[in-house]
């Protein structure tokens, strides 16, 4: 598949796109699982996603 525009596709882990988790502040890198919606990913794990829902009243 040529012309691929995914942030991490085919790259070694050290060269993949990364973000900072909105809850814990830790950096996390692109994963194949998030390929389709990387721009919408905010949390590094299910635990942080659940914690974010608890904080919002």
Domain that holds residue 37: 15-55
Inform me whether the pLDDT recorded for 46 exceeds 70.
yes
Q: What's the mean pLDDT when you consider all of the chain?
A: 84
User: What pLDDT score was predicted for residue 39?
Assistant: 93
DSSP state letters, 17-51 = -EEE-TTT--EEE--GGGGGGGGG---SSHHHHHH
User: What pLDDT score was predicted for residue 40?
Assistant: 94
* Overall domain count for the chain: 1
Instruction: Convert the pLDDT of each residue in 30-41 to its tens digit.
Output: 999 888 999 999
Residues 6+ apart with CB under 8 A from 41: 19, 34
Report yes or no on 47 lying in a domain: yes
Report yes or no on 25 lying in a domain: yes
Inform me whether the pLDDT recorded for 45 exceeds 90.
yes
User: What pLDDT score was predicted for residue 7?
Assistant: 67
- Pick from 40, 39, 15: nearest CA to 29: 15
Distances in Å between the Cα of 1 and the Cα atoms of 4, 5, 6, 10, 12 are: 7, 10, 11, 11, 17
């Amino acid at each position: 598949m040529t012309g691929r525009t995914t942030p991490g596709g085919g790259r070694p882990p050290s060269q993949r796109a990364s973000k900072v988790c909105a809850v814990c502040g830790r950096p996390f890198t692109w994963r194949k699982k998030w390929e389709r919606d990387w721009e919408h990913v905010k949390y590094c794990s299910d635990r942080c996603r659940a914690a974010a829902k608890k904080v919002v009243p």
